[in-house]
Amino acid sequence: MIVVAGSANTDLVARVSHHPEAGETLLAADYAVHQGGKGANQAVAAARLGAPVRFIGAAGDDDFGDQIVADLAAEGIDADGVQRFPGSSGLALITVDEAGENRIVVVPGANGELDGSRDMNGAMGGATVLLVQLETPIAFVNAALAAGRAAGAEVILNAAPAAPLKAFEMAAVDWLMVNAGEAAFLLGESEGASRDETADQAARLASQHNVGVIATLGADGALWVGDDGAQGHVPGRSCEVVDTTGAGDTFAGAFAAARLEGRPVEDAIRMAGVAASLAVGAAGARAGMPDRAAVRTAMSAGE
């Protein structure tokens, strides 16, 4: 069982020719409402690949909250751990440009009500892999990390959106997952201009926090550094890009699914990269998330 502890949002998405500058007003080409939130997206990515998934998070008592819970259940995810709070559900205001790149503003809503008071140990029953992000309050993240460690799960922390790690229970983490920008942020440096520079930053994060680090590199694939210093790089797969929203979440969820089925780390990264490359081919965080058959086909074609 994979347990995902994190945020659930409704994404309000405008497709634009370019992202607005300060003070600029833009007319969008169109507008769509999608399901989102880093935690819920990661849960869906794993579930689409056939993994049993439990989601622990929050929704408001509004219509968006009903939809959040209904969509998770429709994906076959155990959503009993979604706490309902009075008020709004999480919202993400997103612009996506013609290159498929996004800008995201998150209004936490109910996600911001999560804290360390719930029974996280109970929620971890049967957990083999725990996946957590940083889009929920620190106390909630830390309660989940500690419970995951206590349950003996492999604990993966996707440090997105990036925040200083000193606030978090890093001793409970096995794998820290970041993109190149997040890796640089965590070190207080600029983003690496090359794969080697990002690899160096990943190695320093691994050593500082005594964890394995996986750094995603967009079209250049992903690299990893083990807590024992072993390293590797998995090349990216060429793909059509419509919308990169949720690509990192697809990678994280698919990596968790691959680890649940016992794949070694580099193999799991390869599968996650293929899943993410398929996900960016459709608009919205989840529309392009592949199922098991699509990933298997792309992997066996060696694309």
Q: Under the rule (CB under 6 A), what is the footprint of ligand RIB?
A: 7, 9, 11, 36-38, 41, 92, 104, 106, 135, 245-246, 248-249, 285
Q: How many CA atoms lie within 13 A of 244 on its CB side?
A: 16
Helix axes 63-74, 38-48, angle to 10 degrees: 20
Q: Are 120 and 144 in contact (CB under 8 A)?
A: yes
For 200, which DSSP code?
A: H
Give the residue at shortest CB distance from ligand RIB.
36
Locate tokens 């580099």: which residue? 266
The one catalytic residue in 62, 200, 249, 291 is 249
In a 10 Å sphere around its CB, with 0-12 CB exposed, 13-18 middle and 19+ buried, how is residue 247 labelled?
buried
Rounded CA separation 137/174 (Å): 20
Nearer to ligand RIB, 146 or 278 (CB): 278
Nearer to ligand RIB, 36 or 221 (CB): 36
Give the Å distances, CA to CA, from 251 to 46, 225, 248.
9, 17, 5
Beta bridge partner(s), residue 130: 3, 155
**What's the closest the beta carbon of residue 284 comes to ligand RIB, in angstroms?**
8
**Residue 219 is encoded by which pair of tokens?**
């079209």
Nearer to ligand RIB, 71 or 135 (CB): 135
Q: Are 186 and 164 in contact (CB under 8 A)?
A: yes
**What's the closest the beta carbon of residue 278 comes to ligand RIB, in angstroms?**
16
What is the separation, in whole angstroms, between the first and last Cα of the chain? 29
Nearer to ligand RIB, 64 or 149 (CB): 64
**What's the closest the beta carbon of residue 264 comes to ligand RIB, in angstroms?**
26
**Residue 35 is encoded by which pair of tokens?**
């399901």
249 among known catalytic residues = yes
**What's the closest the beta carbon of residue 25 comes to ligand RIB, in angstroms?**
23
**What's the closest the beta carbon of residue 261 comes to ligand RIB, in angstroms?**
24
**Residue 177 is encoded by which pair of tokens?**
């997952």
Nearer to ligand RIB, 71 or 249 (CB): 249
- Active-site residue list: 249
